[in-house]
Structure 1
């Protein structure tokens, strides 16, 4: 009922899972991960204990194939299970029980494990794995999403579409820097869930992406005058307050505070100001 990719990005020390299914809220069932340990996708007749138990085994230093062997070896219903694992070193392993509904199977390699069941055919897994290997220059979360989209376009779940999810774990990467969950996006019930997941990821990048230091604009002169006029039109008057204060207030309201840099302006923020402001 599901197709997924579990993967590791050594450049950012991130682990992630992207998954889609004709199943309500697949993100509540399949993807599990832990920064510094690895990630797990448990699906088909999913045994949810594979998630936390697998992560504990990974954190204890076991390789991905050993984790799969431990999980399935202790499960009397393993013939109906499917699981993908990527370990702390990025080694991938996948398992498909012989009783999983056709088409079912997977591929694993350095840095990834792809698997699916009740699929349109083996081309789904092949498209996902190929896309993952070919998009090495993409940001990790984009690479995961593009692999999922490739599987969907190749036929995906043969019963149809309903939900999708994207989760990424990286040390200290959560909002505020306290937790390790960098991205947690879910589409629980939608006619085109992978497309909707792409829209949500674009919003995540807009709100939480970091400004490019090389592209920052000095907030002075004509640019400062334009920003002040835009803020005035949006109801954030600079009369009686500084430009910086008015900009801070607007950014806090619109959730762009992560993109503010004192004395400079992110071009992304400038574009949003221009798009939000009514005509003069």
Structure 2
């Protein structure tokens, strides 16, 4: 019931996850990223513990493929799970269990991996990867372009209702964590609209956390 992308920007070192589903609040259960380590999507009859586990393994020195192999050996009911990972070197790996739902498939390249289940067709993940590789700009812009490409290729077999966009950079928290937990319109477009609003403010929010004395004004009464 989900399609997603995990990616690394080799120029900035940022990692990101974008995801969409017919289920509510998909990003709350399925999106994981850690600065300097990598990004993971854990989906299809989701076990949310697999995202942090994969990140822990990569932080401990394993490559994406070795981490996914470890998850395959340790995860419970792994035959029902899909797990996608990209590591600090841009290496990617995917596990898709044989009990993944409906039409399921995956695609990957350096710095990017995509997978999905209950898809409209088996070309959606490759369209997402191709969309990402053809795009330019901020990692968030590229992830949104990739998800739009996935939708244009057919997306999920039914309507999608939730989506999320998460990006980590040099600090310990996500610098972008945008979610649409439910809509009857397109949740990917809802995320794109949120990103258009948030993008010009991103650096200011990071600066306020690091040193509010040097931050831009807050734009509230009494602020000078």
The residue aligned with 2:168 is 169
1:197 aligns with 2:196: no
| In 1: Cα distance, 2:75 partner to 2:125 partner | 25
1:94 counterpart residue number: 94
Q: Deviations over 1:182-220 (max 9, x none)?
A: 10000000121011000000000133357xxxxxxxxxx
Q: What residue in structure 1 maps to residue 173 of structure 2?
A: 180
- Indicate conservation of the 8 Å contact 1:93/1:109, yes or no: no
The CA distance in 1 between the partners of 2:202 and 2:220, in whole Å, is 14
2:26, 2:102 → 1: CA distance? 19
- How well do the aligned residues superpose, as a CA RMSD in angstroms? 1.9
Deviation of residue 140 (structure 1)? 0.9
Count the aligned residue pairs: 211
CA distance in 1, matches of 2:98, 2:202: 43
Q: Structure 1: which 5+ residue stretches go unaligned?
A: 173-178, 211-247, 258-280
Stretches of structure 2 lacking an aligned partner (at least 5 in a row): 205-215
CA distance in 2, matches of 1:208, 1:95: 33
8 Å Cα contact 2:108/2:126 also seen in 1:
no
Instruction: Return the offset for 1:181.
Output: 1.2
Higher relative contact order (CA 8 A, sep 6+): 2
Determine the structure 2 residue equivalent to 1:132.
132
Whether the aligned pair in 1 keeps the contact of 2:50 and 2:75 (CA below 8 Å) is no
Secondary structure of the corresponding residue to residue 100 of structure 1: coil
Question: Per-residue displacement from partner, 1:100-133 (whole Å, max 9, x unpaired)?
Answer: 1121010111001100000001121121011111
> Which string of whole-angstrom CA distances, capped at 9 and with x for unpartnered residues, describes residues 243-270 of structure 1?
xxxxx87x6139xx9xxxxxxxxxxxxx
1:219-256 Cα deviation digits (max 9, x unpaired): xxxxxxxxxxxxxxxxxxxxxxxxxxxxx87x6139xx
C-alpha distance in 2 between matches for 1:12 and 1:253: 32
TM-score by length of 1: 0.72
CA contact (8 A) 1:20 1:163 kept: yes
Larger C-alpha radius of gyration, 1 or 2?
1
Q: Which residue number in structure 2 is paired with residue 237 of structure 1?
A: none
Structure 2 Cα separation of the partners of residues 57 and 90 of structure 1: 15
Distance in 2 (alpha carbons) for counterparts of 1:169 and 1:156: 26
Match runs of 1:39-188 below 5 Å: 39-135=39-135, 137-172=136-171, 179-188=172-181
Aligned equivalent of 1:242: none
Secondary structure of the 1:164 match is strand
